[in-house]
Every structure is written in structure tokens, then in C-alpha cells.
Structure 1
Amino acid sequence: MERIALHTRIAEGREEDYDREHARIPDELDASLRAAGVHEWRIWRDGRDIFHLVEVRDYAAMRHRLAEDPANQRWQEHINQFLEVVDDYGGEDSGLRPVWSLPAHGPEVTA
């Protein structure tokens, strides 16, 4: 399973619209995301900055599959009106570059 972080930015004044549209995504989009290998997708917002954490079997394969998926195409056309930068699913991105993480288990402490 891959864990991918993403960043997008909401167009000025569209923050409430973006939040409202994500209160519940279309059932067909949910099904398409799951069929494309998405295990979990979380979104956080800080002002106009949006941070995503995607857990997916194969991120590149998911992107290619969703680029051709009618439910995703409809969603992207709709949601992109609220974004500053539009994602066309045509690139070969790999998400944000990891910099640091705290391991799940720290070093053993001996007395």
C-alpha cells in the first residue's frame, strides 16, 4: 500500500463551496475511487490550502485509471471550478516529496 500526500489550493472566496461539495461525494465517484485501488482518502484544509493523504495500492495506476473514468471526469469538471490550479490527471506526479517522519516504534530504552 502506498501513502501519498498531495496539496491543492482553493480559489479565493470558494472555501465554503469546497467544504460543502465534500460533505458527501457522489456514490459513483466513491465506487470509482475504490475500484481504482484507493483504500482511504483524507483531506485537511488550512485557509485556502488543502492537504490530502491517499492510501492506495498503486498511485500511478490509480491516476491513469481515473483519468479515463467518467465519474471522476464529471467530478473533476465540477470541483475544479473551486480550485486555483486544475488537475487534469495527465501528468506523472508522485505527490509531495517526503522530508521527515517519526517512526511508529522508537528506539528501545535500556535502564
Structure 2
Amino acid sequence: MERFVWKARLLPGKREEYIRRHDEIWPEMTELLNKAGIHNYTIWRAGDELIGYYEAEKGIAFASSTQAESPLVDKWNEYMKDVMVMEKDPATGTHYALEQVFYHK
């Protein structure tokens, strides 16, 4: 199991809408996350900054490629682009990975 963390930024005045969309997450999106081996997916907010964390039971490479190859993820990203900004790594087509500098088990 590998862990992954990403960050993004909420657009001004979009906090409630961002939360509403996640409260009403599409069932097919949760199915895709499960297929990708993504579990314990959590998103935190600090001001307008978003920090996401998940555990990838099949590894980050599998989770990333499963998401990058999915038209559903493209549809979700299009749906979310009016409430948030997330830079993507052109090499992988997914979120930039944050560097882990400390871990306590």
C-alpha cells in the first residue's frame, strides 16, 4: 500500500459548491476509485487551499494510470474546473505528487 497526497486551490466563493459536489459524488466515481485501489480518500481545506490524501492498495502507478485512462475522470475534472484549480504533471497526466519528508507509524 502506498500513500498519495495532492493539493489544489478553491476558486473564490466556491467552498459550499465544492463540498456539495463531493457530498453528492457520482456512484460511478466511487466505483472507479475502488477499481483503482484507492481507499481512505480524504480532502482537507485550509482557507482556499485543498489537500487530498489517499491510500493506493495496488500502488500509486496503478491508481494514477487507472484514473488517467478513464473518461469518467475527465468528465469529473471538467465538472470541477469552475470551483477549483489543480495543476497536473504533464509527464503523468495526474496530480503532482507531494514529497513526503516525515512519516510516523
Same-fold status (TM-score > 0.5): yes
Question: How many correspondences in the alignment?
Answer: 102
Task: Indicate conservation of the 8 Å contact 1:80/1:86, yes or no.
Answer: no
Partner of residue 98 from structure 1, selected from 73, 97, 100: 100
Q: What's the offset of the Cα at 1:90?
A: 4.9
Deviation (angstroms), 1:86:
4.9
Partner Cα distance (1:96, 1:34) in 2 = 22
Give 1:1-111 correspondences, 5 Å limit. 1-56=1-56, 57-87=58-88, 90-92=90-92, 95-101=97-103, 103-104=104-105
Gaps of 5+ in 2: none
Superposition TM-score, scaled by structure 1 size: 0.79
Deviation at 1:4, TM superposition (A): 1.1
CA-based RMSD of the aligned residues comes to: 1.9
Q: Which runs of 5+ in 1 are unaligned?
A: 105-111
Q: Deviations over 1:77-110 (max 9, x none)?
A: 10122113354x7533662111223x33xxxxxx
Larger radius of gyration: 1
**Percent same amino acid at aligned positions?**
27
Specify the code of the residue in structure 1 equivalent to 2:47: G
SS at match of 2:23: coil
Name the amino acid aligned to 1:26: W
Using the size of structure 2 for normalisation, the TM-score is: 0.83
